[in-house]
């Protein structure tokens, strides 16, 4: 065994540091260093100095070298992995992978299917909504129509109501209108649908004859089913004439197409 001073003086530590010693000599030095704190401190400083020299004199290797080294190590690692890992494990790994892959596929397919279902349902809901809207509109219209019809029906279907048919004369032989007169309620309702079509600038107008004088009962719109006319007291007859559009103050007697005595 060597003592501390011998070691310091012989320069064996320097040789140990550089890696010049044989294995046995190295082990000897290591054992001594283990026991001797002071010597270890001395050696550690020497190491620091040597490292410093090397760092000061460093030469940067080309950058591609690092990549090459890491590629090699990667290869090395995967290679040794192949060697070490038993076949079973790789098999299980691939089973696991296969299971994971099939689960993923399954999930993907079901997701796609669900998405389709969802989209279809959404479309159906939109359609239903539209249909509901249409039906609601129709229903409102029908209700309106029904109410109107009911009103007309109630207005004419009374014992006090007198029904009069105004047939067209030779000027308008195909015309016919129905008037419903209620003396009790003082109402006149006319169904003008049977009247022949007129040119745009003409219209039918209704008159009441009171003691030889023709009194206006109103212009007859051609596009309605029923129309309420003015009730005139003490009327002796009802008359329909053709007048310029918008109606006239006095009847054009030559254009009288129908009259009925009350």
Partner 1 sequence: MKDDLELIKRLQNQDTKALSKVYDLYSGALYGVILRMCKNEPLAQELLQETFMKIWQKATTYNSDKGKFFTWSYRIARNITLNSLRKKENLIQNEDLSVYKDRSSSEEKIDTKGIVGSLQKLEPHHQKALELVYFNGLTHREAHEEMDVPLGTFKSYIKQALKKLRESYKEELVIVWIIIEMMR
Residues that bind partner 1 (CB under 8 A): 10-11, 14-15, 17-20, 30, 33-34, 43-62, 65-66, 68-70, 72-74, 76-77
- Please say which residue, 3 or 74, places its beta carbon nearer to partner 1: 74
- Please say which residue, 60 or 200, places its beta carbon nearer to partner 1: 60
Minimal distance, residue 97 CB to partner 1, in Å: 24
- Please say which residue, 76 or 122, places its beta carbon nearer to partner 1: 76
State how far the alpha carbon of 130 is from the alpha carbons of 113, 118, 124, 127, in Å: 26, 18, 10, 5
Minimal distance, residue 24 CB to partner 1, in Å: 15
Minimal distance, residue 25 CB to partner 1, in Å: 12
Minimal distance, residue 2 CB to partner 1, in Å: 15
Minimal distance, residue 86 CB to partner 1, in Å: 20
- Please say which residue, 1 or 59, places its beta carbon nearer to partner 1: 59
Give CA–CA dist 35/74, Å, rounded: 41
Minimal distance, residue 47 CB to partner 1, in Å: 5
- Please say which residue, 62 or 246, places its beta carbon nearer to partner 1: 62
- Please say which residue, 76 or 143, places its beta carbon nearer to partner 1: 76
Give CA–CA dist 147/76, Å, rounded: 94
- Please say which residue, 50 or 109, places its beta carbon nearer to partner 1: 50
Minimal distance, residue 63 CB to partner 1, in Å: 10
Give CA–CA dist 49/61, Å, rounded: 22
């Amino acid at each position: 065994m060597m003592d501390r001073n011998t070691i310091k003086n012989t320069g064996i530590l320097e040789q140990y540091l550089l890696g010049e010693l044989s294995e046995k000599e190295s082990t000897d030095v290591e054992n001594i260093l283990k026991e001797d704190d002071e010597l270890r401190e001395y050696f550690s400083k020497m190491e620091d100095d040597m490292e410093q020299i090397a760092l000061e004199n460093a030469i940067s290797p080309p950058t591609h070298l690092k990549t090459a080294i890491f590629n090699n190590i990667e290869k090395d690692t995967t290679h040794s992995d192949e060697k070490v890992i038993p076949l079973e494990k790789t098999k299980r790994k691939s089973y696991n992978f296969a299971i994971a892959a099939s689960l993923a596929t399954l999930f993907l397919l079901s997701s796609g299917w669900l998405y389709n279902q969802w989209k279809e349902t959404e479309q159906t809901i939109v359609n239903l909504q539209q249909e509901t809207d249409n039906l609601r509109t129709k229903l409102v219209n029908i209700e309106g129509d029904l109410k109107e019809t009911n009103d007309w029906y109630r207005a004419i279907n009374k014992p006090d109501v007198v029904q009069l048919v105004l047939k067209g004369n030779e000027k308008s032989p195909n015309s016919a209108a129905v008037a419903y007169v209620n003396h009790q309620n003082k109402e006149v309702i006319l169904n003008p649908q049977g009247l022949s079509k007129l040119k745009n600038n003409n219209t039918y107008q209704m008159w009441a004859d009171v003691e030889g004088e023709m009194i206006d009962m109103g212009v007859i719109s051609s596009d309605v089913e029923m129309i309420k006319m003015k009730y005139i007291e003490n009327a002796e007859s009802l008359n329909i004439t053709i007048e310029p559009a918008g109606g006239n103050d006095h009847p054009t007697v030559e254009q009288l197409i129908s009259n009925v005595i009350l």
